[in-house]
A and B are shown apart, each in its own frame.
Chain A
Amino acid sequence: DSGVTQTPKHLITATGQRVTLRCSPRSGDLSVYWYQQSLDQGLQFLIQYYNGEERAKGNILERFSAQQFPDLHSELNLSSLELGDSALYFCASSVDSPARNYGYTFGSGTRLTVV
């Protein structure tokens, strides 16, 4: 157990729907990162929050949004879902930002299947 909790582990939904993925960072970590891993693709950076504020943005679609709450948990909202959104979505956390020299702690991911 890495200490980063992601729920749900699996999610199957229909095209056009909206889903919310949840992440609880490791205790004491202020920074949360969201990544998408599609089939045969590397981890694509989506967005980062630090202590409730957006810190960095990657290739996140306009249909996707995220936020970090006062208790530091984060939610990734995916709307108007398309088949191509099917992927593994990972959340990671770190004590501070930047964390590039000692890495992030990743959760085990949420597997989203859009049918």
Chain B
Amino acid sequence: DQQVKQNSPSLSVQEGRISILNCDYTNSMFDYFLWYKKYPAEGPTFLISISSIKDKNEDGRFTVFLNKSAKHLSLHIVPSQPGDSAVYFCAASEIGDKVIFGPGTSLSVIP
């Protein structure tokens, strides 16, 4: 039973446009949500997080939105750059520090 879902395995976006990556979760006890980026042959790299008491967190070109009532979060990348092409993992944690990862979405930014 997947507690963190990323229903789009892949996404293609034109350079300069907005990339929107979506994530849904089922566990209402999750209190932190994180996004990681992964390039081939490397480990995941932490991008941005959001607490469940907030609905938006912004860091440069990256913004994460959280809709608790819908159990949905999204990562917006504006503007998208070719170097953003990677696999993006949504992750969530509850008290106890166990972090559950989604299956990932592969983003391709086309020059």
Contact = CB atoms under 8 A, between A and B. Distances in A.
A98 B96 contact: yes
Contact of B44 (A48, A101, A106): A106
A99 B91 CA distance: 13
Of B43, B89, B104, most buried by chain A (CB within 10 Å of CB) is B43
Interface string B67-111: 000000000000000000000010101011111111110000000
Interface of A: 2, 4, 31, 33, 35, 40-45, 48, 55-56, 58, 90, 92, 97-109
Given A42-B101, A45-B98, A106 B89 contact: no
A31 B96 CA distance: 13
B43 A4 contact: yes
Contacts of B96: 56, 98
Interface of B: 4, 6, 31-32, 34, 36, 41-47, 49, 51, 89, 91, 93, 95-104
B93 A100 contact: yes
Contacts of A58: 98
Contacts of B32: 100-101
B97 A48 contact: yes
Given A48-B98, A102-B46, 10 more contacts: A2-B45, A31-B97, A35-B101, A42-B103, A56-B97, A56-B98, A98-B97, A103-B36, A106-B44, A109-B43
B49 A92 contact: no
Nearest to B2: A42
A104 B45 CA distance: 8
A92 B41 CA distance: 15
B49 A100 contact: yes
Nearest to A105: B46
Contact of B103 (A2, A41, A104): A41
